[in-house]
Structure 1
Amino acid sequence: MKYKPLGRTGLLVSELCLGTMTFAGKGFWEVIGTQPQEVADELVAKSLDAGINFFDTANVYSEGESEKMLGKALGNRRKDVVVATKVRGRMGPGANEVGLSRGHIMQAVDDSLRRLGTDYIDLYQIHGFDPLAPLEETLRALDDLVRSGKVRYIGCSNLAAWHLAKSLWISDKYNLYRFETLQAFYSIGARDLERELVPLMTDQQIGLLVWSPLAGGLMSGKFTREGQGPAEARRTKFDFPPVDKQRVFSVVEVLGQIADTHNTSAARVALAWLLHQSAVTSVIIGAKNNQQLEDNLAAPGLTLSGQELARLDEVSALPEEYPGWMVDWQARNRYPEPTTQQ
């Protein structure tokens, strides 16, 4: 297992992070996974043994049960790991039990601390954009949490580039703690964030945490162009996240060919491709059982050749869009032509 800096924090986190969205399976989250506590304990222990020191959850996952189960599974090993959770989603029927207002954040962080069984959260992330709460209010509330010691660092998830850029400007202007990470959907089958977000994060040293690296299981190679797949698979019941499936299955064909060369799975190749991307800090993996987890844990050991990476880059390349193609076109003659010596 390799370790990378978490944004500018100085913390080192494993390049694989165990996501806990599959724990408990309460309410809406039942389609994602339904692991009981004993399975969660086993998955967490196996991850720790493999060198994972980074665990991600959210208060909305199974209505808080995921946080409870992660806290129990970690037990006295809590101090040895980096725990990330999130705030924004609805946590009750009340008008203000949702969003990124100061009121909701202050209530939600105490609830998450109680459920996790800890007195601090390493990385506290907003789970998305809230059109009703000014970014200034949200960032001031998060800044107060860092200064109080309840939270050590803050991050964000599912923001557009302009959301993130504006938040960084506000933090700089008012001397507030800034977002150090962005958790975003990224997969070899869906490279959309490379257009605007990756250049922004690279410039501002924002860590990238990848969710749904297999595009909801599509990159596993278990589905066909006709939509057929395992009856127990998540995609069969919950077709998310949305992707261009015709492009995805063209990528899956190449993944399968490369996987056969290495005598491994298409899923492992898809994860290995992400780990080869310089912008990626950590890839969040989820598993319903030990077999899936073991396959994912082996991804860091798979080295793809330059030729294999080129094939994967070519088949998964994004269609050109403006202003990207204009920026590239205008950059061609930025340097003077080399002169020949007489």
Structure 2
Amino acid sequence: MDYHTLGSSELRVSRVCLGTMTFGQQNSEAEAHAQLDCARSHGINFIDTAEMYPVPPRAETCSRTETFIGRWLKTQPRDQVVLATKVAGPSRGMRWIRCGPKSLDRANIRAALEGSLSRLQTDYVDLYQLHWPERNVPMFGQYRFEPSHERDGTPILAQLETLEELVQEGKIRYVGLSNETPWGVCQFLRLAEERGLPRVISIQNAYSLLNRVYESGLVEIGYREQVGLLAYSPLAFGHLSGKYLDDPQAPGRISEFPAFGQRYTKENVRPAVAAYGDLASRHGLTPAAMALAFVASREFVASTIIGATTLEQLRDNIAACATVLSPEVLAGIEALHLRYTNPAP
């Protein structure tokens, strides 16, 4: 396993990160612990979770993922695990999370972190991320900024000041963003520089063969400002495995939870998936292996977040991230990207 310094921090993270949002919904606690043990045995030291997991979010299962991880983490050398979690942004109908928070204000961030620390059975998290912005931004399949949706909210400066308090208290080592835009990242960086506040070291955004929006503006920011990409959904919720082409009801999150993954309902997704699958087969690769290898090979990807529901899937995904794609495959991917540019932004 290769390791990489995350952004401008001192954190050394594995190039593959274990995503955990199936823990507590599609995976039992025993299965979750088996996945965590398997990941560690393959050299993965980076674990990502969130207070709202598992997904899709439900009142009955909310925060169960952190609880499962916490009982496992208690048996591990804490300094050998880089643990990341997230505070949920303003409620998207989830009134069971702190009564449906309206903002990322001091009270909500503090309450969220204290809850996470208790469930994770640790005194600190290595990376604390704002799961999505409080302000009006297009998210989760939306792709156009709508000024008419503007609303009042907690200023970014106030969010950073709260995070600074928690860093000083030793409860957070570093700060990251998730589902952010170029403007948002620049504001966080500017205010941190001007006010001596925590500098964000990472951004966790969707990135895959079907969604390379990150390349349009955030790559340059990440490069110049040392902010690493933690790429989530590298298989586009399983679509890039090709399994839904022949059987839309194939086992997986999309078939089990039809309202989940709305960004993948756009019309060019299926033809793009088919074209990438054909390219992979012509070069002796599985579609999933090619998709994961592509994301893991990007120089701006600090770590690729993979998830699985079985140990076999997990082992396959870890191996795929180490696959080296030939120049011919990479050229083919670029040609298809020009034909099907970001069909699932």
TM class by shorter-chain length?
A: 0.7 to 0.9
Bigger Rg over Cα: 1
**Of residues 144, 147, 159 in structure 1, which corresponds to 2:168?**
147
Deviation at 1:315?
A: 0.4
Tell me what 2:72 maps to: 73
Matched, 1:7 2:7: yes
User: What SS class does the counterpart of residue 173 from structure 2 fall into?
Assistant: strand
Tell me what 1:121 maps to: 125
The 1:98–1:55 alpha-carbon spacing in structure 2 relative to 1, beyond 3 Å, is farther
CA distance in 2, matches of 1:45, 1:271: 21
Matched, 1:83 2:83: yes
Matched, 1:265 2:269: no
Q: 2:85, 2:125 within 8 Å by CA — same for their partners in 1? A: yes
Tell me what 2:143 maps to: none
CA distance in 1, matches of 2:128, 2:339: 32
**Of residues 16, 33, 36 in structure 1, which corresponds to 2:28?**
36
CA distance in 2, matches of 1:36, 1:308: 38
CA distance in 2, matches of 1:57, 1:206: 19
The residue type equivalent to 2:45 in the other structure is N
User: What SS class does the counterpart of residue 23 from structure 1 fall into?
Assistant: coil
CA distance in 1, matches of 2:21, 2:220: 29
Deviation readout 1:29-84 (Å, 9 max, x if unpaired): xxxxx211100011000110011000000001141111111121233323211000
Deviation at 1:246?
A: 4.7
Matched, 1:190 2:211: yes
The 1:95–1:291 alpha-carbon spacing in structure 2 relative to 1, beyond 3 Å, is closer
**Residue correspondence of structure 1 range 110-259 to structure 2 within 5 A:** 110-131=114-135, 132-224=153-245, 228-236=247-255, 237-238=257-258, 239-243=260-264, 245-259=266-280
Aligned residue pairs, count: 311
The residue type equivalent to 1:22 in the other structure is T
The residue type equivalent to 1:72 in the other structure is R
User: What SS class does the counterpart of residue 202 from structure 1 fall into?
Assistant: helix
Q: 1:86, 1:124 within 8 Å by CA — same for their partners in 2? A: yes
**Of residues 277, 281, 290 in structure 1, which corresponds to 2:311?**
290
Deviates more, 1:233-242 or 1:46-55: 233-242
Q: 1:215, 1:241 within 8 Å by CA — same for their partners in 2? A: no
User: What SS class does the counterpart of residue 84 from structure 2 fall into?
Assistant: strand
CA distance in 2, matches of 1:204, 1:318: 31
Deviation at 1:231?
A: 3.7
CA distance in 2, matches of 1:204, 1:24: 36
CA distance in 2, matches of 1:219, 1:112: 32
The residue type equivalent to 1:126 in the other structure is L
Where do 5+ consecutive residues of structure 2 fail to align?
A: 55-61, 136-152
The 1:249–1:312 alpha-carbon spacing in structure 2 relative to 1, beyond 3 Å, is farther
Q: 1:9, 1:153 within 8 Å by CA — same for their partners in 2? A: yes
Deviates more, 1:81-90 or 1:262-271: 262-271
Deviation readout 1:128-175 (Å, 9 max, x if unpaired): 111211101100000111111100000010111111111111111101
The 1:152–1:93 alpha-carbon spacing in structure 2 relative to 1, beyond 3 Å, is closer
Deviation at 1:301?
A: 2.9
User: Could you tell me the percent identity over the aligned residues?
Assistant: 36
CA distance in 1, matches of 2:98, 2:276: 46
Matched, 1:21 2:21: yes
The residue type equivalent to 1:179 in the other structure is V
CA distance in 2, matches of 1:105, 1:288: 30
**Of residues 41, 44, 50 in structure 2, which corresponds to 1:58?**
50
The 1:269–1:154 alpha-carbon spacing in structure 2 relative to 1, beyond 3 Å, is same
The 1:66–1:99 alpha-carbon spacing in structure 2 relative to 1, beyond 3 Å, is farther
CA distance in 1, matches of 2:162, 2:2: 34
Matched, 1:107 2:126: no
